[in-house]
Chains A and B, each alone.
Chain A
Amino acid sequence: MTALRASGLHKAFGGVQAVAGVSFAIGRGEMLAMIGPNGAGKTTCFDLVGGQLRPDAGRVMLDGQDITGQPPRALARRGVGRTFQITAVFASMTVRENVQVALQAHHRRFWRCWGAADAGFRDEAVALLAQVDMQTQADRAAGVLAYGDLKRLELAVALAAGPRLLLMDEPTAGMAPAERTALMALVRRLAHGRGLAVLFTEHDMDVVFGVADRILVLNRGHLIAEGDAAAIRADARVRAVYLGGP
């Protein structure tokens, strides 16, 4: 069953064609990796699917419904969660409050002007933090976390809405190799266990080949290869892009 289908996506910035005719689909419970050198257009693809950018051409379908050009807040309601390459957390709040805000947003409580916010969804927040192994840091300020912890907190925030599709742009950048594998193994368990569709980018090829069910390779805005780990390893064009040569 297809969770997300992107077809013929195009996006240009001024003269730069960042994404040129990219199509792909993600099934329920599938871990799909998108790899490619810096500037290949990966983040732009995420922004097109996540609603941060509107495509110049092309369609994005979520569970069979057209969501092209819808703002991220509307997609969040439809079950799209996302983490950012440049980590963004709510720095004036504690770790737990970061998750609580996400839970409040998910339950559409954010117009409530009365009652203390830090009393709502406490246990749910702690449970989500426990999933990413952050429960011991619940009362720390989010602004002072180490990089790897920030990434984990972002994942907990994204999971708060119980998404059906998770977009993770470089979820493990800045983490130690062991941490990376652990985090992505967790994501993989969630994907396979709950039928969560995951699209992620990652520079560490060991992680990619280890956890991805399928891999897309992007270069200069074009999709140049698609397949499982073995197929990608063997692909001549991928080798050319990564290893140089013709």
Chain B
Amino acid sequence: MDAILIQLLTGLAGASSLFLVAAGLTVIFGVTRVVNFAHGSLFMLGAYIAWSILVHLPRAPGWHAAGVLLAALATAGIGALLEIGLLRRLYRAPELLQLLATFGVLLVVQDLTLLLWGPNDLALPRPSWLRGSVAIAGARFPAYDLLLIGIGPLVLAALWLLFSRTRWGTLVRAATQDREMVAALGVDQSVLFTTVFALGAGLAGLGGALALPDGSANLQMDLTVITDAFVVVVVGGMGSLPGAYLAALLIALLQAFGVMLLPNATLVLMFVVMAAVLAVRPHGLLGRALAPARGEAQATALIRPASPALRGLGLAVLALAMAAPFLAGPFVLSVLTEALVAMLFAASLHAMMGPGGMASFGHAAWFGIGAYAAALAAKGLLMPMPVGLLLGPLLAGAAALAFGWFVVRLSGVYLAMLTLAFAQIVWAVAFQSDLTGGDNGVLGIWPDAWAQDPRVFYALALVLCAGGTLGLRRVLFSPFGYALRAARDAPARAEAIGLWPARLRLAAFALAGAAAGLAGAVGTYSKGSVFPTTISISRSVDALLMVLLGGVQTMSGPIVGALAYTGLYDVLIRATDLWRLCLGLIIIALVLAFPQGIAGAAARDRTA
């Protein structure tokens, strides 16, 4: 009984933390419709700024509170600058490009934080009043956690008052419901958006500053926090504050009690909750179907088969790639193999995202399943390489087929989030299971004797990856590909001519999963090892970046994007320690310059 009470309190404290993380994100999304990937970065900045302020202040509670508020205000200021400097220019861009830009911000903030505060975790020397605990039911419960339990609902109430009792709040709520109407009434939207963004950023900063006494300010915060925040916001219903609190409560309580029952499953639990909620309520607990946002309804680009010039260029590149074993040494060949793997990975995501209309945030799941399938076939079952190369796509495709059953009904951000959830589940399984070697991964997976020569393996990778990419392309220009695109362009019309959009999307989903699995299997034999990081969020984001850089709306986009991205990445990583900063700035610049992607821009120039 007592243990239950303590877990209940732990859960409530956890709920407050999660809510603080998610509140700002949901407020920003509700009004601006921007899914802000940099929200975790704002949280992290809040923690670092709070640290810098608090180490200079007296330790008394009053000073501490003042310092925390100051940090939140500073983060709000940063948020306002971010909105004015960047996001304002992107409100009319497709939502995935907004996401890409905010991911660029995340990269930039990571390196800037490293530059300003150094690589070490910064913990706050805790004064006695922060270390204290309260005796509850015979156990000692941290006093600070009790404080947190109160702060969550307090912030919810404050936000509720702000939104329901002020003119500004009324306008914001109106804008959440119908932006066009508010604009038509002559309200200055830019001020509204900037203040909303600042409020959201301030809430993130507040969350970061409040999280400081329980842990430290560190450089991993941004990605951990953004994942938590996404899950809470999506489970609660995007844009709904009470939904966010409810979701935070649900998840934190399940986690607190889950620890007692299934100590090893906590990582998975959060995402299982999310998958379950979205399967039953596709718009989250308290969310509603969104009116189409700006950018969503915009015209889709015309897709034509490659022009003779483009075809010639492609053939020339292919010929060069075929000649590479005779021209390049083992090192260059291994880099090229990586590029080939990346190309197939990107092409597989593009197939479901472009023509299929399903953007995925968790495409690394299929890549990882393929990679682990190959690795375990080699190390666990001692199978020859061709078996691994076959099992990879087969298992990934089968998993995608099973999972796709749940997700093809969803669309947009919700679909992206559910795929993210699934990828995190796969990641957690790989991370926590003995079979997969946990954090240590699976090592020592080498090609069979006949393919050990780097030139032979490269040739094999070229056949599989370039072949797979071209095969996907062919499929997209086949009747199936057209039917798939028809179902994306106008689902009701597609159904009225006898197509079955859900089935077509499911088939595309499975096909994309299998192709990504093949890429993963080839990658495993090329690297000789596989780790849980293969399934990490940043790996999924890599694929998204490649596709978006190349342009979703073009057929050669993923190829161009993958080659450009891996090239850029390799060059940057070799050239500078600040590669994240550079990459982030380049991404932001590219998004601002080519809101339709590189290949998309080229295509437009041709037709223009």
Pair from one complex: yes
> Which of B478, B486, B489, B493 meets A114, CB within 8 Å?
B478
Please give the distance in Å from A137's CB to the nearest CB on chain B: 13
Interface residues of A in 170-201 (CB under 8 A from B): none
State in angstroms the CA–CA spacing of A73 and B492 once bound together. 10
Residues of B within 8 A of A102 (CB): 497
State in angstroms the CA–CA spacing of A175 and B489 once bound together. 23
> Which of B300, B305, B483 meets A110, CB within 8 Å?
B483
Stretch at the interface among A34-42, A83-91, A204-212, A218-226: A83-91
B499 contacts A105, C-beta separation under 8 Å: yes
Please give the distance in Å from B555's CB to the nearest CB on chain A: 10
State in angstroms the CA–CA spacing of A114 and B475 once bound together. 6
Interface size on B, residues (CB 8 A): 33
B482 contacts A157, C-beta separation under 8 Å: no
Answer yes or no: A44 CB below 8 A from chain B CBs.
Answer: no
A90 contacts B302, C-beta separation under 8 Å: no
Residues of A within 8 A of B490 (CB): 88-91
Interface residues of A in 114-148 (CB under 8 A from B): 114-118, 120, 141-144
Residues of A within 8 A of B497 (CB): 76, 81, 101-102, 105-106, 157-158, 160-161
State in angstroms the CA–CA spacing of A113 and B511 once bound together. 11
A105 contacts B483, C-beta separation under 8 Å: yes
Answer yes or no: B495 CB below 8 A from chain A CBs.
Answer: yes
- Measured CB to CB, the nearest residue on chain A to B504 is A110
Stretch at the interface among A5-13, A24-32, A92-100, A232-240: A92-100
Residues of A within 8 A of B112 (CB): none
A94 contacts B496, C-beta separation under 8 Å: no
- Measured CB to CB, the nearest residue on chain B to A106 is B498
B492 contacts A113, C-beta separation under 8 Å: no
- Measured CB to CB, the nearest residue on chain B to A47 is B492
Q: 1/0 per position for B465-489, CB-CB distance to A under 8 A? A: 0000000001101111111011011
Please give the distance in Å from A108's CB to the nearest CB on chain B: 8
Answer yes or no: B299 CB below 8 A from chain A CBs.
Answer: yes
B493 contacts A89, C-beta separation under 8 Å: yes
State in angstroms the CA–CA spacing of A143 and B433 once bound together. 50
B479 contacts A110, C-beta separation under 8 Å: yes
Please give the distance in Å from A96's CB to the nearest CB on chain B: 12
Residues of A within 8 A of B481 (CB): 113, 117
State in angstroms the CA–CA spacing of A97 and B600 once bound together. 21
State in angstroms the CA–CA spacing of A154 and B493 once bound together. 9
State in angstroms the CA–CA spacing of A76 and B492 once bound together. 12
Please give the distance in Å from A56's CB to the nearest CB on chain B: 21
- Measured CB to CB, the nearest residue on chain B to A118 is B305
State in angstroms the CA–CA spacing of A98 and B546 once bound together. 30
Please give the distance in Å from B325's CB to the nearest CB on chain A: 30
> Contacts A90-B490, A92-B485, A102-B497 given: A113-B302 contact, CB under 8 Å?
no
Residues of A within 8 A of B305 (CB): 116, 118
Please give the distance in Å from B190's CB to the nearest CB on chain A: 30
Answer yes or no: A72 CB below 8 A from chain B CBs.
Answer: yes
> Which of A71, A77, A92, A113 meets B300, CB within 8 Å?
A92
Tell me which of A89, A106, A116 has the highest count of chain B C-beta atoms within 10 A of its own C-beta: A116
Please give the distance in Å from B358's CB to the nearest CB on chain A: 15
> Contacts A82-B496, A88-B493, A157-B493 given: A93-B485 contact, CB under 8 Å?
yes
Residues of A within 8 A of B157 (CB): none
A112 contacts B478, C-beta separation under 8 Å: yes
A73 contacts B498, C-beta separation under 8 Å: yes
Answer yes or no: A52 CB below 8 A from chain B CBs.
Answer: yes
Residues of B within 8 A of A104 (CB): 479, 482-483
> Contacts A73-B495, A116-B305 given: A143-B300 contact, CB under 8 Å?
yes
Interface residues of chain B: helix, strand, loop or mixed (majority): helix
Answer yes or no: A55 CB below 8 A from chain B CBs.
Answer: no
A97 contacts B500, C-beta separation under 8 Å: no
Q: 1/0 per position for B262-305, CB-CB distance to A under 8 A? A: 00000000000000000000000000000000000001111111
Residues of B within 8 A of A158 (CB): 496-497
A52 contacts B492, C-beta separation under 8 Å: yes
Tell me which of B300, B481, B482 has the highest count of chain A C-beta atoms within 10 A of its own C-beta: B482
Size range of the chain A interface in the assembly: 35 or more
Residues of A within 8 A of B494 (CB): 90, 105
State in angstroms the CA–CA spacing of A158 and B490 once bound together. 14
> Which of B480, B489, B499 meets A113, CB within 8 Å?
B480
A92 contacts B302, C-beta separation under 8 Å: yes
B496 contacts A113, C-beta separation under 8 Å: no
Tell me which of B303, B305, B477, B497 has the highest count of chain A C-beta atoms within 10 A of its own C-beta: B497
- Measured CB to CB, the nearest residue on chain A to B511 is A113
State in angstroms the CA–CA spacing of A110 and B485 once bound together. 11
Please give the distance in Å from A166's CB to the nearest CB on chain B: 11
Please give the distance in Å from B175's CB to the nearest CB on chain A: 25
A111 contacts B480, C-beta separation under 8 Å: yes
State in angstroms the CA–CA spacing of A112 and B504 once bound together. 12
Residues of B within 8 A of A92 (CB): 300-303, 485, 488-489, 553
State in angstroms the CA–CA spacing of A121 and B489 once bound together. 21
> Contacts A89-B489, A90-B486, A101-B486 given: A50-B496 contact, CB under 8 Å?
yes
Please give the distance in Å from A24's CB to the nearest CB on chain B: 21
> Contacts A93-B485, A115-B478 given: A110-B496 contact, CB under 8 Å?
no
> Contacts A84-B492, A89-B490, A90-B490 given: A116-B500 contact, CB under 8 Å?
no
A117 contacts B498, C-beta separation under 8 Å: no
A105 contacts B498, C-beta separation under 8 Å: yes
B496 contacts A90, C-beta separation under 8 Å: no
B479 contacts A109, C-beta separation under 8 Å: yes
- Measured CB to CB, the nearest residue on chain A to B500 is A73
- Measured CB to CB, the nearest residue on chain A to B483 is A110
State in angstroms the CA–CA spacing of A111 and B495 once bound together. 15
Residues of B within 8 A of A112 (CB): 478-480
Please give the distance in Å from A144's CB to the nearest CB on chain B: 8
State in angstroms the CA–CA spacing of A84 and B475 once bound together. 29
Residues of A within 8 A of B483 (CB): 101, 104-105, 110
State in angstroms the CA–CA spacing of A112 and B486 once bound together. 15
State in angstroms the CA–CA spacing of A91 and B497 once bound together. 16
A110 contacts B489, C-beta separation under 8 Å: no
Please give the distance in Å from A109's CB to the nearest CB on chain B: 5
Residues of B within 8 A of A94 (CB): 302, 304
Residues of A within 8 A of B299 (CB): 91, 143-144
A116 contacts B492, C-beta separation under 8 Å: no
A117 contacts B479, C-beta separation under 8 Å: yes
Residues of B within 8 A of A71 (CB): 495
Please give the distance in Å from B354's CB to the nearest CB on chain A: 9
Residues of B within 8 A of A82 (CB): 496
> Contacts A73-B498, A82-B496 given: A90-B485 contact, CB under 8 Å?
yes
State in angstroms the CA–CA spacing of A55 and B493 once bound together. 20
Tell me which of A50, A90, A141, A143 has the highest count of chain B C-beta atoms within 10 A of its own C-beta: A90
Tell me which of B474, B478, B500 has the highest count of chain A C-beta atoms within 10 A of its own C-beta: B478
Please give the distance in Å from A112's CB to the nearest CB on chain B: 4
Q: Which residues of B contact A (CB under 8 A)?
A: 299-305, 474-475, 477-483, 485-486, 488-490, 492-500, 504, 507, 553
Complex A-B, nearest 6 residue pairs according to Cβ-Cβ distance, in ascending order = A76-B498, A88-B490, A110-B483, A141-B302, A88-B493, A90-B489
Q: A113-B475, A160-B497 are in contact. List 20 more A-B contacts (CB 8 A).
A: A71-B495, A72-B495, A77-B498, A84-B492, A84-B496, A90-B486, A90-B490, A90-B494, A93-B486, A93-B489, A102-B497, A111-B479, A116-B477, A116-B478, A117-B477, A117-B478, A117-B481, A118-B305, A143-B302, A158-B496
17 pairs, A vs B, C-beta closer than 8 Å: A50-B496, A84-B496, A91-B299, A91-B490, A92-B300, A92-B302, A92-B553, A101-B479, A101-B482, A105-B483, A110-B479, A110-B483, A113-B474, A114-B475, A115-B479, A117-B481, A143-B302
